[in-house]
Amino acid sequence: MSTLTDDHAPTPDPSIFEPAGEHISDSLLRTLPGDAYGSAEIFAREQEKIFEKMWLCAARGSDLAKPGDFKTVQIGKESLIISRNRKKEPRAFFNICRHRGARVCSEESGSGKRSFQCPYHAWTYDLDGKLIAAPNLTKMPDVGREEYGLHQAHVREWLGYIWVCLADEPPSFEDTVMGAVRSRLGDIESIDHYQVENLVVGKRIVYDVKANWKLIVENFMECYHCATIHPELTEVLPEFADGFAAQYFVGHGAVFGDEVKGFTVDGSEGVEKIPGVTDDQDRRYYAVTVRPNVFVNLVPDHVIFHRMFPVAHDRTIVECDWLFLPEVVESGVDLEKSIKLFDLVNRQDFEACELCQSVTNSKKYEHGGVLVPSEHHIADFQNWTASAIAG
Amino acid sequence: MSTLTDDHAPTPDPSIFEPAGEHISDSLLRTLPGDAYGSAEIFAREQEKIFEKMWLCAARGSDLAKPGDFKTVQIGKESLIISRNRKKEPRAFFNICRHRGARVCSEESGSGKRSFQCPYHAWTYDLDGKLIAAPNLTKMPDVGREEYGLHQAHVREWLGYIWVCLADEPPSFEDTVMGAVRSRLGDIESIDHYQVENLVVGKRIVYDVKANWKLIVENFMECYHCATIHPELTEVLPEFADGFAAQYFVGHGAVFGDEVKGFTVDGSEGVEKIPGVTDDQDRRYYAVTVRPNVFVNLVPDHVIFHRMFPVAHDRTIVECDWLFLPEVVESGVDLEKSIKLFDLVNRQDFEACELCQSVTNSKKYEHGGVLVPSEHHIADFQNWTASAIAG
Amino acid sequence: MSTLTDDHAPTPDPSIFEPAGEHISDSLLRTLPGDAYGSAEIFAREQEKIFEKMWLCAARGSDLAKPGDFKTVQIGKESLIISRNRKKEPRAFFNICRHRGARVCSEESGSGKRSFQCPYHAWTYDLDGKLIAAPNLTKMPDVGREEYGLHQAHVREWLGYIWVCLADEPPSFEDTVMGAVRSRLGDIESIDHYQVENLVVGKRIVYDVKANWKLIVENFMECYHCATIHPELTEVLPEFADGFAAQYFVGHGAVFGDEVKGFTVDGSEGVEKIPGVTDDQDRRYYAVTVRPNVFVNLVPDHVIFHRMFPVAHDRTIVECDWLFLPEVVESGVDLEKSIKLFDLVNRQDFEACELCQSVTNSKKYEHGGVLVPSEHHIADFQNWTASAIAG
């Protein structure tokens, strides 16, 4: 068991944020300054340097089961159409007609489309984005069908989710997304045991959080707050009451309390265990942060999967899926006790993040706050974001 | 019949907008870049260089029939009082008391005022804007009654509308406003036949459009979209289904379909024809764009008159009047079928403009979209706006 | 009786605002330019240079009677907790946990707290702001309890109100706050007669005014508008109809009309007179402006006390207290006629200020308006604000 380090974090360059102006105690590290959370300008740079450069998790693959099923997703400033072509391969199109720029799809989702037709002048694109029809198109033979196809984003499917990257040259998916899982769990096999791609969505809750996305990440990474705001969670995971997060040590999963029967709001029995989960993993909770927009929570009988969509420096939409075995969901068994636990945790966390957001413009928070020892690993994430937007 | 050119457009200077970064096909021209529609800064420059410099159509003259009738109108950042003096001449006052700057008129409209009195300290102005009374004014003999009169805008009345110009030195009304009509129709007599100043408002509809004013102008100038979004209009004007706008050729009016009896939503008979309309003009639709804020639509039995009031880079108020012969309106005959046609067209157009507005901040629309051949004349308008704000 | 001058006003430096572009008559002085009221940037400088530097009146002391009673107050960008320690001394804490910056108190007010505990990680502060507990705090012996106490603002209690100053080095309370009262009334004893600290709040009304705070101050300082908008007030104080404000002369109080029995909406009898009020002060109204956020109004039987909380360049929250003798309030006597008079005056004034706010971005108000002779003393306030933000 070794202290977690992140191989992907560039060398920190805190100089992009205003240097600290006060002495702090040796036990403490400094957080990012208030501006990092309170400034629309810094958020714009994060959108450009982080959210438009990295792999992001956009949609659950099963929401797009058939060719021509689609969802529109807002990623940073961009609206994307996430869909499947005739071979059921995922595709991600910028939702912008190549002619005069109208929004091609206004619906949130739809199914079984054979093509995408712009509602303004009827330019029409096939399920691979190629321009296939337009009024008088035959009189413009030099207008290439591929050249004037919908702009596309890079796309991958993993863990049953469709991941996209808006950059022209995406970073390695294996090194970044899968690398984050590997760094946290020690290997990729550990997550394979949960068969996340075969699970089905038993519940989805969308939270509208009035806080910067980094406050939500930082909150997820530490457990110093658990004793204060998560009574139900610390009942199930007693070691969380000591303030050390599951994410602090590579490969470590928090152990259920002795009396606890399952990962439920009252510690009672959960549902059928996922077959691949090993004895090592049984009765344990693992949390993984996949920068910049995903949290994965693994317990023996389900997986809780968070996707964050930052929309402003002080507002983040969080979509949370509770994933169970297909037979569990089909059986109609009551999932409420399983769902309730992390729904409570989410609400407790997001309320705390909002309390932090409200002070980010204060003169007294200009240099930020402090991290106690059990939070020191957050500094790694903070240095990474600071470096990313400096790059 | 010659291709329309605009004598008043200054030499285009596209360099003020970011230069295009991609190759485009020879059949196509480029639109303005996304910023031209999506940036509050560029809108502020348009307000200063276009809307505060040119003649704008502010109010229907008949709404101010008597001396002291008034309307308050928002033009760019300015609130104006449009009124008539004792000789019934139109006047346009900045709605700002010369003393401490209070809004003199808070009402949207009113009638028969003998003077305008500021509600704060009772400074009082006559119907020509002169300061005529104020508490203790007699003890300030050096305060000139003219010098401290209400600030005024230049004003003209034409086609039954009151036009204003906020500039100190207005451009020639004859060259610009009347010039736009002449360029489009070939001569001024052609519009005189419709006696627009003698018609009365049968209906006024105010639309709140969440789109940049230029998108509305560009939409009005082309008919490539007609087949897609205007089924009722192309039924009445079959040539519009081919995508060539009435505005493309000097003097051309789109001919009604053979089976069409009138310019109505179902092609049925309209109302009494305007007496001066010539045989050449009968059974035809003419559209005129008077930059920057007016569209005039001429059909044999009525005139549809649009005034645009841009309020933000992404919001434009459009007031549309349906004008008929006085005896038609007085007769109480049902105007609904005539009004319904262009009300539908307006709603279809404005929805399309809003679809375009929503993408203007996308990275993939940074360099804008493209114009097909039947839209190429829009480039002239786009070059004109680019040059105007560069000047 | 001498013309009022303000000893504390630094040398005016009007150059920080755009210089005036037009000639004005000799009888007149110029107001501040439109930007001074209409610009968010200038407001930000005022917050920094005025509201974060000077003594401000934050709360009525009696609202916090016991140790641990508290109110949260928004001052500029800062949320403060105003409270009392175990010795009942007033304290003002920045409402920011020293750990990760969460808002410590979310409630508007509360009573009898023994400590303030952050809801996020349970860092806990005593009633003097000292850090007294936190999870694992004993393992961080170098974290000083005083060093990591809540940030504090300077605090004073006078006239029964708690005044705060956010600056590290506050200006002299005696010279500024008390100095303003002395300059206006001639001495401090004059206000002592009203025993303001012993009166009780008979009524509090909170107004949300869509106007710049300086418009509200300027309005309060002059009475040129009284004849126009304050019919009830000029009935009680006939000299106000002439346009000369009570604040124009040191020590002057406006005399009640001969028929007037009390400072009430209809001039009828008020309530029991405050014992200390002298014969000189009887049947008179005194108004005092304590820059930047207080107005005090003294009449023989009550005191009307305004506190302004500017929240944006175009929005100010005004809290107004009507203070009476304790025995008057306890007796249950009807206070409505006394309250109604100044509530009406407030509403009339604030509506006028909003009329002025709406024109501040006009091109024709770029250089501002003018001050007539009975308003010339406002220029002193305007020069003071201009100098303050230039400093």
Q: Read off the pLDDT of residues C136-175 as tens digits, 9 standing for 90 and up.
A: 999 999 999 999 999 999 999 999 999 999 999 999 999 9
A215 with A350: CB under 8 angstroms? no
- Provide, as residue numbers in chain C, all residues whose Cβ is less than 8 Å from the Cβ of A364: 78, 94, 96, 151
Q: CATH second-level architecture of B57-162?
A: 3-layer Sandwich (2.102)
Q: Which residues contact C193 (CB under 8 A, 6 or more apart)?
A: C274, C276, C277, C278, C281
**Which CATH class for the B14-52+189-390 domain?**
alpha beta
pLDDT averaged over every residue in chain A: 92
Q: Report whether the peptide linkage leading into residue B14 is cis, meaning its omega lies within 30 degrees of zero.
A: no
Which residue in chain B is spatially nearest to C228 when comparing CA positions? B121
Which residue in chain A is spatially nearest to B370 when comparing CA positions? A99
pLDDT averaged over every residue in chain B: 92
Q: What tokens does A93 get?
A: 């199109």
Q: What tokens does A34 get?
A: 């208030």
pLDDT (average), residues A25-54: 95
With b for 16 or more beta-carbon neighbours within 10 A and e for fewer, the A348-383 pattern comes to bbbbbbbbbbbbbbbebbbbbbbbbebbebbbebbb
Which residue from C159, C194, C140 is spatially nearest to C59, judged by alpha carbons?
C159
| Contact yes or no for B359 and A135 at CB 8 A | no
Indicate the residue of C94, C135, C142 with minimum beta-carbon distance to A364: C94
C neighbour chains, 3+ CB pairs within 8 Å: A, B
The neighbour count for residue A108, using CB atoms within 10 Å, is 9
Indicate the residue of C77, C122, C139 with minimum beta-carbon distance to A362: C77
Kind and range of the H or E element at C343?
A: helix C336-357
Q: How far apart are alpha carbons C216 and A51 in whole angstroms? A: 45
Which residue from B128, B25, B44 is spatially nearest to B373, judged by alpha carbons?
B25
| Contact yes or no for B119 and C228 at CB 8 A | yes
Q: What tokens does A252 get?
A: 């470590």
SS3 state of residue C134: coil
Q: Please tell me the distance in Å from B55's CA to the nearest CA on chain C.
A: 17
The predicted structure's pLDDT at residue B148: 96
B357 with A79: CB under 8 angstroms? no
Which of B78, B108, B120 should we substitute to test contact with C (largest number of C Cβ atoms within 10 Å)?
B120
| Contact yes or no for B364 and A142 at CB 8 A | no
| Contact yes or no for C356 and B135 at CB 8 A | no
B307 with B204: CB under 8 angstroms? no
- Provide, as residue numbers in chain A, all residues whose Cβ is less than 8 Å from the Cβ of C100: 31, 356, 369-371
B251 with B186: CB under 8 angstroms? yes
pLDDT (average), residues A13-33: 70
Cα distances (angstroms) measured from residue A300 to each of A1, A79, C89, C321:
21, 36, 56, 62
Residue type at B234?
A: T
Indicate the residue of B100, B106, B139 with minimum beta-carbon distance to C31: B100
Indicate the residue of B139, B143, B151 with minimum beta-carbon distance to C25: B143
pLDDT (average), residues B221-240: 95
Q: How far apart are alpha carbons C284 and C299 in whole angstroms? A: 6
- Adjacency order of strands within the sheet including B315-324: B200-209, B315-324, B302-312, B294-299, B284-290, B254-255
Residue type at A176?
A: T
Which residue in chain A is spatially nearest to C122 when comparing CA positions? A228
The neighbour count for residue C327, using CB atoms within 10 Å, is 11
Stretch(es) of chain A classified as CATH 2.102.10.10: 57-161
Q: How far apart are alpha carbons A184 and A248 in whole angstroms? A: 9
**A interface with C, Cβ–Cβ below 8 Å:** 25-28, 31, 34, 224-225, 227-229, 243, 352, 355-356, 358-365, 368-374
Q: What tokens does B193 get?
A: 């036949």
pLDDT (average), residues A330-340: 97
Q: Read off the pLDDT of residues A114-149 as tens digits, 9 standing for 90 and up.
A: 999 999 999 999 999 999 999 999 999 999 999 999
Express the helix, strand and coil content of chain C in percent, nearest 5 each.
30, 25, 45
| Contact yes or no for B143 and C362 at CB 8 A | no
Q: How far apart are alpha carbons C80 and C216 in whole angstroms? A: 24
Residue type at B284?
A: R
The predicted structure's pLDDT at residue C203: 98
Q: What is the DSSP string of A49-78?
A: IIITTS-EEEEEGGGS-STT-EEEEEETTE
**C interface with A, Cβ–Cβ below 8 Å:** 52, 77-79, 94-103, 106, 119-122, 134-136, 139-140, 142-144, 147-148, 151, 166
Please name every residue paired with B84 in a beta bridge, in sequence order, or none if there are none: B90
Indicate the residue of B25, B228, B368 with minimum beta-carbon distance to A120: B228
Q: How far apart are alpha carbons C299 and C305 in whole angstroms? A: 11
Local confidence band at A17 (pLDDT 50, 70, 90 cut-offs): very low
pLDDT (average), residues B243-257: 79
Local confidence band at B250 (pLDDT 50, 70, 90 cut-offs): confident
Stretch(es) of chain B classified as CATH 3.90.380.10: 14-52+189-390
SS3 state of residue A236: helix
A181 with A318: CB under 8 angstroms? no
Which residue in this structure is represented by tokens 């006390």? Answer: C305
The predicted structure's pLDDT at residue C44: 95
Q: What percentage of residues in chain C have a pLDDT greater than 70? A: 93
Q: Which residues contact A40 (CB under 8 A, 6 or more apart)?
A: A312, A313
The predicted structure's pLDDT at residue C391: 63
B121 with B100: CB under 8 angstroms? yes
pLDDT (average), residues B285-302: 97
Which residue from B60, B54, B102 is spatially nearest to B75, judged by alpha carbons?
B54
Stretch(es) of chain A classified as CATH 3.90.380.10: 14-51+194-390
With b for 16 or more beta-carbon neighbours within 10 A and e for fewer, the A268-297 pattern comes to eebbebbeebeeebebbbbbbbbbbbbbbb
The predicted structure's pLDDT at residue A249: 75
Indicate the residue of B26, B28, B355 with minimum beta-carbon distance to A120: B355
Q: Please tell me the distance in Å from A181's CA to the nearest CA on chain C.
A: 27
Q: Read off the pLDDT of residues C115-131 as tens digits, 9 standing for 90 and up.
A: 999 999 999 999 999 99
Indicate the residue of A120, A142, A144 with minimum beta-carbon distance to B225: A120
Which residue from C137, C144, C135, C91 is spatially nearest to C113, judged by alpha carbons?
C91
* pLDDT per residue of chain C (391 residues) written in tens, 0 to 9: 333 334 443 333 444 343 445 678 999 999 999 999 999 999 999 999 999 999 999 999 999 999 999 999 999 889 999 999 999 999 999 999 999 999 999 999 999 999 999 999 999 999 999 999 999 999 999 999 999 999 999 999 999 999 999 999 999 999 999 999 999 999 999 999 999 999 999 999 999 999 999 999 999 999 999 999 999 999 999 999 987 765 667 788 999 999 999 999 999 999 999 999 999 999 999 999 999 999 999 999 999 999 999 999 999 999 999 999 999 999 999 999 999 999 999 999 999 999 999 999 999 999 999 999 999 999 999 999 999 998 6
Which residue from B279, B367, B389 is spatially nearest to B29, judged by alpha carbons?
B367
| Contact yes or no for A136 and B225 at CB 8 A | no
Residue type at C76?
A: G
Total number of residues shown for chain B: 391
Q: What tokens does C370 get?
A: 């003018």
Q: What is the DSSP string of A298-364?
A: EETTEEEEEEEEEEETTEEEEEEEEEE-HHHHHHT---HHHHHHHHHHHHHHHHHHHHHHTTTT-GG
With b for 16 or more beta-carbon neighbours within 10 A and e for fewer, the A173-211 pattern comes to eeebbbbbbbbbbeeeebbebbbbeebbebbeeebebeb
DSSP A187: S
- Widest distance between CA atoms in chain A: 76
Q: What does the angle CA A366 – CA A367 – CA A372 come to, to the nearest 5 degrees?
A: 135
Q: How far apart are alpha carbons A36 and A26 in whole angstroms? A: 23
| Contact yes or no for C166 and A363 at CB 8 A | yes
What's the CATH number for A14-51+194-390?
A: 3.90.380.10
Q: What tokens does A243 get?
A: 């303030």
A neighbour chains, 3+ CB pairs within 8 Å: B, C
Q: How far apart are alpha carbons B297 and B277 in whole angstroms? A: 14
Q: Which H, E and C letters describe A113-181, residue by residue?
A: CCCEECCCCCCEECCCCCEEECCCHHHCCCCCCCCCCCCEEEEEEECCEEEEECCCCCCCHHHHHHHHH
The predicted structure's pLDDT at residue C147: 94
Local confidence band at A15 (pLDDT 50, 70, 90 cut-offs): very low
Indicate the residue of C98, C135, C140 with minimum beta-carbon distance to A369: C98
Stretch(es) of chain C classified as CATH 3.90.380.10: 14-53+200-390
Q: Read off the pLDDT of residues B185-223 as tens digits, 9 standing for 90 and up.
A: 999 999 999 999 999 999 999 999 999 999 999 999 999
Please name every residue paired with A319 in a beta bridge, in sequence order, or none if there are none: A206, A307
What's the CATH number for C14-53+200-390?
A: 3.90.380.10
- Provide, as residue numbers in chain B, all residues whose Cβ is less than 8 Å from the Cβ of A98: 369-370
Burial-class residue C50 by CB neighbours within 10 Å (0-12, 13-18, 19+): buried
C326 with C314: CB under 8 angstroms? no
Q: How far is C-alpha C254 from the chain's CA centre?
A: 21
φ, ψ of residue A71 to 5 degrees: the values are -135, 145
| Contact yes or no for A96 and B28 at CB 8 A | no
Helix extents (H) in B171-225: 173, 179-185, 189-192, 213-221
Q: What tokens does A202 get?
A: 């038993």
Q: Read off the pLDDT of residues C259-277 as tens digits, 9 standing for 90 and up.
A: 999 999 999 999 999 999 9
Stretch(es) of chain B classified as CATH 2.102.10.10: 57-162
The neighbour count for residue A110, using CB atoms within 10 Å, is 15
CATH H superfamily, domain A57-161: Rieske [2Fe-2S] iron-sulphur domain (2.102.10.10)
Which of C117, C120, C145 should we substitute to test contact with A (largest number of A Cβ atoms within 10 Å)?
C120
